[in-house]
Amino acid sequence: MKGLLTAIKHEKEPVYFITYEGLRRDRADAKRAMFAKLGETIDFDAGKVYADELFAKKIGEEIDKNCKKISCNFSERINGDVEALVGRMKQSLEEAARLLAKKEYMSAPIVVRYHNDADGLSGAIALHRAMHGYENAVWEMHRSVAYAKSDAENDMLIANAYESIEKPLLVLIDFGTTPDSNDGIEAAKERFDIIWLDHHPISSGFSGAKLDYYINPWNFGGDSNFTAGLLASVFASCFGAQTKDLAYASLLGDYSAYAKPNAQAKRVAMLLDIVSSDAKLVGSHTGNVTPEAVENIMHDESKVTEIIAYGENRLAELLDSAVSGLKVYKGKSSSIYVADFEKIRSDEERYPLPGRFASKLMEKIEESGNAKALVVLHYGSYISLRLGSGLKGINLLEVLEKVKSYYPSLVESAGGHMSAASIKLAKEGNKKPVLGKLVEELKGIV
């Protein structure tokens, strides 16, 4: 029996990864692998290690043949617009899926980062199902909308623990598409191949859009209603993964126009929203929430019920508190509601996170009969905005860019969606003038 040594993980006791004919993969310690070097052939029957270009070529051809068979087959019928978009993105998704499959066949390290909300986490779980517990994957929930240079440096440290024939792979799900990520992208692409699945409007100057495997519905005639979780679910269908529950949960969790409310989707979306806010609920003390940890909870109905009951009760209490302390400003034909989140939720608590709470607060205001409204929620060095469903034709991203142009040294970054966006300040002390200018600009257009 012969195998190709495709990767080595350097730990106290190195782990050798071997790919055999038929593309079966195995791991071995140094002694069993006969201290082979990367790319060498190990003949276990003869007890020999040697370079065999023909065998390596044969393995490569077998991988290519299998990868060519990959086809996305997302069968869930959401609506005609979604089906048309899936059709237009199908080729790009299949090419990215073939890249992922090749990395797995060759045991290359894979780092997956995903945004810490129901949309990003649903996408990560969909990918996890597609990868079937792949051993050399590291899953990192990301608490920012930018991929910073420091993130790239951390990911390179993970990859540097390996030697591999194939270049390591970085997968990013549901990140912001602004130039704030450019330095991270430039650093990462030297060490990684990159697959980026996103649905945010693409900002001018964002270098990620030039990546070979950057896939965003905005580039195919769609918009942010085609969520990142839905996109990852379609991608996962290339590997036969069943992700219907995650696709619908992502649509609900990200307030997509394609959402189809039903009890199960609402339950999954609520669970993902809560656990992505408070990692302790999945037993994590590091702040990271992995797909495996969430899937374990999803299989325990009593635990799901317990977490959702906690979240619903906590949210109801905080919303009542927020409504009683709102500041209200009159716009041209609507109301602007400003809330100080630091007076609503203590720093010791994790759920709900501010951005999610802004969306829930907007919902509550709309339920009271005021759909022509806008929520401005500030906390620490952040300001979040949510647009009511009765306000059409307003692009919050343009408003934030205008405010940023007034205070370029005070505003570190701005991004999000046209109806749900946020500002990050360089420091908390900058908030008062920026918040004042923001409200002034909004009063003139809403």
Among 45, 66, 87, give the residue marking a domain's end. 66
To which residue do tokens 């992922």 refer? Answer: 100
3-state secondary structure of 171: strand
State the chain's mean pLDDT as an integer.
95
**Do both 285 and 326 map to the same domain?**
no
Examine residue 184 and state whether it is found in any structural domain, yes or no. Answer: yes
* 158 contacts 191 by C-beta, under 8 angstroms: no
**Do both 171 and 295 map to the same domain?**
yes
Phi and psi angles of residue 234, each rounded to the nearest 5 degrees, phi first: -65, -45
* 10 contacts 162 by C-beta, under 8 angstroms: yes
- C-alpha 39/C-alpha 6 separation (Å) is 6
**Do both 59 and 208 map to the same domain?**
no
pLDDT score at 430: 86
Beta-sheet strand order (sheet of 110-115): 137-142, 110-115, 169-173, 193-197, 213-215
Among 299, 332, 364, give the residue marking a domain's end. 299
Examine residue 167 and state whether it is found in any structural domain, yes or no. Answer: yes
Cβ–Cβ contacts within 10 Å for residue 46, how many? 10
Confidence of residue 392 (pLDDT cuts 50, 70, 90): confident
Instruction: Answer whether residue 202 shows pLDDT above 90.
Output: yes
- What does the pLDDT look like over 173-191, one tens digit per residue? 999 888 989 999 999 999 9
Nearest to 216 by CA among 423, 203, 274: 203
CATH for 360: 3.10.310.40
- Pick 107 or 144 by higher pLDDT: 107
pLDDT score at 428: 86
pLDDT score at 217: 98
Q: How many helices (DSSP H) and strands (DSSP E) are in the chain? A: 13, 17
Instruction: Answer whether residue 150 shows pLDDT above 90.
Output: yes
**Do both 271 and 358 map to the same domain?**
no
Instruction: Answer whether residue 243 shows pLDDT above 90.
Output: yes
Q: State mean pLDDT over 355-378.
A: 94
Q: State mean pLDDT over 148-162.
A: 97
* 306 contacts 314 by C-beta, under 8 angstroms: no
**What's 167's DSSP letter?**
P
pLDDT score at 274: 97
- What does the pLDDT look like over 286-328, one tens digit per residue? 999 999 999 999 999 999 999 999 999 999 999 999 999 999 9
pLDDT score at 19: 97
Examine residue 307 and state whether it is found in any structural domain, yes or no. Answer: no
Query: What DSSP string describes 7-60?
Result: EEE-SSS-EEEEEETTS-EEEE-TTTTTTPPTT-EEETTTTEEE--HHHHHHHH
**Do both 60 and 151 map to the same domain?**
no
- C-alpha 129/C-alpha 291 separation (Å) is 9
Domain residue limits at 205: 75-299
* 177 contacts 208 by C-beta, under 8 angstroms: yes
**Do both 259 and 242 map to the same domain?**
yes
pLDDT score at 144: 86
- What does the pLDDT look like over 52-66, one tens digit per residue? 999 999 999 999 999
**Do both 37 and 101 map to the same domain?**
no
Buried b (16+ CB within 10 A) or exposed e, 274-311: bbbbbbebbeeeeebbbbebbeebbeeeeebeebbeeb
**Do both 106 and 240 map to the same domain?**
yes
- What does the pLDDT look like over 323-353, one tens digit per residue? 999 999 999 999 999 999 999 998 788 899 9
Examine residue 436 and state whether it is found in any structural domain, yes or no. Answer: yes
**Do both 20 and 84 map to the same domain?**
no
Q: State mean pLDDT over 124-131.
A: 98
Q: State mean pLDDT over 147-168.
A: 97
pLDDT score at 286: 92
pTM of the complete model = 0.93
In the chain, the number of structural domains is: 3
* 105 contacts 4 by C-beta, under 8 angstroms: no
Query: What DSSP string describes 78-117?
Result: --HHHHHHHHHHHHHHHHHHHHHHHHHHTT--EEEEEESS
* 66 contacts 24 by C-beta, under 8 angstroms: no
Among 14, 38, 66, give the residue marking a domain's end. 66
CATH for 182: 3.90.1640.30
Examine residue 305 and state whether it is found in any structural domain, yes or no. Answer: no
**Do both 292 and 409 map to the same domain?**
no
